[in-house]
Structure 1
Amino acid sequence: MSSHDHPHPATEKEVKGVLAVGGAGGPHGLGDPNDQQLRKVEQTILIPKIMRERTRIEKCKPEYEAFEACGKEYGLRGFYKCREENTAMQTCMGSWYSDPDFIQECTEQYLRERTQFRRTGIMKPKDERVGSKAYREKMAAQKAAAASAQSSLPP
């Protein structure tokens, strides 16, 4: 049977989406909470997004902060001046991106969050979703508040 013979051929959007082709199902029409299969978009975009954010804030934090400080110091010249810091950060992040245990850990984190969403129909607030802009802004605000509190302490 060709795709032309199928009564409901899968559209490009369905194939690339997070929900399974052929229907969502589940208690809220968001997919089966017990489904552990990953779609291509989850494997190539959503899980790597979690990996990038976790390496930045957990695994390679000193390297990231050194690169960030260098960039702030040199501005646009940082592209040239901060090569050493950038290389250290990229090396650290690359080692985690190829670590099978870390990949599995991030995949399991994603599946737990997806299962919870499919079960309840309630998404985590944006500022709690690792990888979202709101999450990064929340972390930056917390970092700034901590730095401000630290600088206001007497010597």
Structure 2
Amino acid sequence: MLEVTMDIYSIFMIHFERHLWTHYGTLPIWLCSPSNQVMRKNETEGLKTDNLENLKEGDTFIDSTTGTRYRVKKTILPHYSSSGPHGLGDPEDRTLRKIEADVIIPNRMNTQIERVECNSSYLDLVKCFRNDGAVAGLNTCKPALEIYNRCKFEKFHDPEFRSRMTDEYLAERSEARRTGMTSQQRKLEEYREWKRKNNTASEK
């Protein structure tokens, strides 16, 4: 069953044609023109609607001209963010929402910088604060902080690094959309499967 996305004009035309056919047994000539037949073909391929008052989530809409049944699905998200096998978005889509580009990916970059890219200078800064204390360290740890901030600044302004982190995020998001599970959920499922196989082998 297809999803319905029909605009108000299309719904009006369907009811208008149904009225003419019911009461007069005919359709206007302009409705049978080649250009209109092309429009009809496009409508059956993807019906569109902004009529949210008459359509409800889960309702079934039947196209009076083709008999095709459509199930209504409402979402505030664009099609590429709500389509896909699990309704989480198109796995092949590489579009980034504003929160992904401005928040999620920079956070992943920051984590990668602390753990890998600038890990040594980060650990030196942490060690300095542990030795000198949080208050005194504000003055005594300035050299270590400056080294770490310089490394962090260079990485945040490195296009190659950002591109790599973006690709990793998109690959992870694509797999989540394809499977319906996050990376943590997939790892948990793999562990459960491994444990299940080991338990079965030990029982034998």
TM-score band, normalised by the shorter chain? 0.5 to 0.7
Identity of aligned residues (%): 31
Match of 2:167 among 96, 105, 108: 108
Q: Which letter does structure 1 place at the counterpart of 2:91?
A: P
Q: CA deviation at 1:54?
A: 0.7
Partners of 1:7 and 1:52 lie apart in 2 by 44
Task: Give the 3-state SS of the residue equivalent to 2:82 in structure 1.
Answer: coil
Counterpart mapping for 1:53-72 below 5 A: 53-72=111-130
Return the letter of the residue paired with 1:37: T
Deviates more, 1:56-65 or 1:71-80: 71-80
Q: Please, which of 140, 146, 157 is the counterpart of residue 87 of structure 1?
A: 146
Amino acid at match of 2:167: E
1:142 alignment partner in structure 2? none
Quote the residue 1:98 is aligned against: 157
Partner of 1:131: none
Residue 111 of structure 1 aligns with an amino acid whose one-letter code is L
SS of aligned partner of 1:28: coil
Aligned length: 112
- Aligned residue type for 1:102: F
Structure 2's unaligned 5+ residue stretches are 1-49, 53-75, 188-204
Q: Give the whole-Å Cα distance in 2 for the aligned partners of 1:58 and 1:118.
A: 28
The CA distance in 1 between the partners of 2:175 and 2:139, in whole Å, is: 45
CA contact (8 A) 1:51 1:106 kept: yes
Q: What residue in structure 2 maps to residue 30 of structure 1?
A: 88
CA distance in 2, matches of 1:21, 1:32: 11
The match for 1:50 among 97, 108, 128 is 108
Encode CA deviations 1:6-33: one digit per residue, 9 max, x unaligned.
656xxxxxxxxxx943561110011110
Q: Show CA shifts across 1:31-68 (max 9, x none).
A: 11011010000000110011001111111011001000
Residue in 2 aligned with 1:21? 78
- Superimposed CA distance per residue, residues 117-149 of structure 1 (whole angstroms, 9 cap, x where no aligned partner): 0000111228x8xxxxxxxxxxxxxxxxxxxxx
Deviation at 1:75? 1.5
Query: How far apart, CA to CA, are the structure 1 residues paired with 2:111 and 2:51?
Result: 42
TM-score between both structures, scaled by the size of structure 2: 0.51
TM-aligned CA distance change 1:66 to 1:7, over 3 Å:
farther
User: 1:79: Cα distance to partner?
Assistant: 1.4
User: Which structure is richer in relative contact order (CA contacts within 8 A, separation 6 or more)?
Assistant: 1
Q: Which has the larger radius of gyration?
A: 2
How far has the Cα of 1:71 moved from its partner? 0.8
State the TM-score, normalizing by the size of structure 1.
0.67
Q: Per the alignment, in what secondary structure is the counterpart of residue 34 of structure 1?
A: coil
CA contact (8 A) 1:20 1:39 kept: no
Let me know the Cα RMSD of the aligned residues: 1.9
Which string of whole-angstrom CA distances, capped at 9 and with x for unpartnered residues, describes residues 61-118 of structure 1?
Answer: 1100100000111112111211110110010011000000001000000000000000
